[in-house]
Chain A
Amino acid sequence: MLLAMILRPKSSPRHERPMLAASAPVPAVALPGWLRRAVPDTQNLAAKGIEEIAIAAGAAFGALDAVVRRQERWAGVWRQRLALAAAAVTTRQAGRVEDEAALRDALLLTRLGDDVGPAGRMLLAWRQLASRPTEELLTETSIADVLDALGLARDDETASDLADELRRLAANEGFVGMLVGAFAAVERRSLPPTVGCWFADAMLAQRLGWTHAVPLLGGEAAGAMGSGRPRRAATVLATRGVEAVPERAKSVLSTQAQSALRAVDLSADIERRAGRLIAVAPGLRARGADIVVDHLLSDDATVASAKIAGMSDRSLRRLFERLLELGAVRELSGRPAFRIYGI
């Protein structure tokens, strides 16, 4: 109640509210400088040995693991943001023009029962990675769903073959062998590397015992994709023949290390925003505000017409406006209408 009184007075929306110390007792995972330097970017990748890269990757996974294991309330929005980033890269690679904002629109402005369109389905593929429990990710149906959503020929035989092969890889191979094997399996069936990224993320999560996978690699291929001509440029994970395993291991590991660092960095940002939302949450008087806050912390974005906590369109909009005023959420679309809110 005291908090409510502190937060009640109106102030300019841009006013930065001091974060309450109590709301964030655990400091964010701080990345040491040496780790940032040790993770190679695409330019100096060739110069480094696999051992160097492996050490950096291991450390990066450790940092990421620490973030995942904290099981913060905002883990959902963090994973979904990463999924969105991965989907944006995927659409670009598939030769589509949708960016993150357009993907968000496709998902949120589609009415129940309508079709989200090809780009929206790509987003759904990555959201599937971030939302389904880890153990369900590499089943035959899940793989078939992903291939379908990514706009690839839906062929159940491929899906069941892949499920078998990935299961074998996960059971028999070491860390690196498993990840490299996943890409090789995808390549042998002449599927795009995006699928390999999806599998590798899922397998990493299974190996590390996470309850949910974190979309990492999908968002990363962008660096090497260049901007202008996506199809022609080779990706980091591009095909170099199945025999070049050390080379492939190097590129997979370094890409994963980069993406792990990116994910950790994003988690710090999300934590700051989530902290602000959690701090103002007790002062919200709308009925169902708790559920809305939870929703905001577990998903990338939402619209006022969403059916949350049985709140009406109008009261939800009012709540979002209030949160906007308090600086606890952002309007993500930049439009005066069809507004989309998220932390």
Chain B
Amino acid sequence: MAEAARGRKKKGRPDDGLFDRELDHLPPEARWREWMHRVEATIFAASEPVGRETLSRIVGKTCSIELLIDDIREELRGRPYDLIAVAGGWKHLTRPAYADAIRTAVGGSERAVDLTQSEVLVLMCIAYFQPITRAELSSFFGKEISRDLIGNLRGFGMIASGPRAPQPGAPYTYVTTQAFLLEFDLDTLRDLPDREALEDAGLLSKEKLLAGDIMPGLGDAGDNGAEAAIDE
């Protein structure tokens, strides 16, 4: 806890303008080392990938973050974890070789995001057709997609509110988040599987999907009881 608190303090301090980014008093090598430590500590303390802008706040103006990261990774070479560029930032991740060991030790409970099959289906639908409203999703699947399900996905941080649809009630549309990309190990939305195939088949048009009956029915999605009302 103490470490975590210290990390937070470190991240918070640059705002007051007193934080010494340049470290001019140090010889170049020591300065570089200190910058490496700062960057690694920040990434270590963060629960999500840390982007370049954030990191550039704690190192000198002239400092190349790529080179810093390269040096840190070099030092981590023998360690079972590494600094990986994911979802627009860097994060400490364990090496794939230890996945089994970790799974055996912690079991399934270690997964923060435990999606049901229907949640995954809805999430994938949102990923391919975003921005999309709950009413449209329901119409896709031919069955009500409950607010609970959407709320769960939102609770996991997989989706966020997008633009409001210009329909009566101005329902929110939903879009996927960085956390979604991270969870499914995608770098960008273009990496969604079979995107091109779907596109060539003309299936990436919401209108077409809504008109036709292309998607398979959803086995056990949501409650049927929920009314077809629109958010807000």
Q: Which of A's residues lie within 8 Å of B, judged by CB?
A: 94-97, 105-111, 114-120, 141, 144, 148, 151-157, 160, 229, 231-232, 333, 335, 337-338
Closest chain-A Cβ to B68's Cβ sits at a distance in Å of: 11
Partner of A114, one of B161, B188, B195, B196: B161
Count chain B residues whose beta carbon lies closer than 8 angstroms to a beta carbon of A: 34
Docked-complex contact A117 and B175, CB < 8 angstroms: yes
Instruction: Give bound CA distance, A114 to B154, whole Å.
Output: 13
Is B173 in the interface zone, CB < 8 Å from A? Answer: yes
Partner of B52, one of A106, A107, A152, A156: A156
Question: What are 27 inter-chain pairs, A to B, with CB distance below 8 A?
Answer: A95-B195, A96-B204, A97-B205, A97-B206, A105-B166, A106-B163, A109-B164, A109-B166, A110-B163, A111-B164, A114-B161, A117-B130, A117-B162, A117-B163, A117-B173, A117-B175, A118-B189, A148-B88, A152-B188, A152-B190, A153-B187, A154-B188, A155-B85, A156-B66, A157-B66, A335-B166, A337-B168
Is B200 in the interface zone, CB < 8 Å from A? Answer: yes
Instruction: Give bound CA distance, A244 to B46, whole Å.
Output: 48
Instruction: Give bound CA distance, A96 to B88, whole Å.
Output: 22
The B interface, classified by DSSP as helix, strand, loop or mixed, is mixed
Is B226 in the interface zone, CB < 8 Å from A? Answer: no
Measured between beta carbons, the chain A residues less than 8 angstroms from B65 are: 156
Within 8 A of A (CB), among B191-232: 195-196, 199-200, 204-207
Docked-complex contact A154 and B162, CB < 8 angstroms: no
Docked-complex contact B160 and A115, CB < 8 angstroms: yes
Measured between beta carbons, the chain B residues less than 8 angstroms from A160 are: 64, 66
Measured between beta carbons, the chain A residues less than 8 angstroms from B165 are: 109
Closest chain-B Cβ to A100's Cβ sits at a distance in Å of: 14
Closest chain-B Cβ to A124's Cβ sits at a distance in Å of: 12
Is B93 in the interface zone, CB < 8 Å from A? Answer: no
Docked-complex contact B189 and A115, CB < 8 angstroms: no
Measured between beta carbons, the chain A residues less than 8 angstroms from B204 are: 95-97
Q: A156-B65, A229-B200 are in contact. Are A109 and B163 (CB under 8 A)?
A: yes
Q: Mark B146-170, 1 if CB is under 8 A from A, else 0.
A: 0000000000000011111110101
Instruction: Give bound CA distance, A115 to B175, whole Å.
Output: 7
Residue from A97, A141, A144 whose CB has the most chain B CB atoms within 10 Å: A97
List 8 A-B pairs, minimum CB-CB distance, nearest first.
Answer: A338-B166, A110-B163, A117-B131, A95-B199, A153-B187, A154-B88, A109-B163, A117-B162
Measured between beta carbons, the chain B residues less than 8 angstroms from A148 are: 88
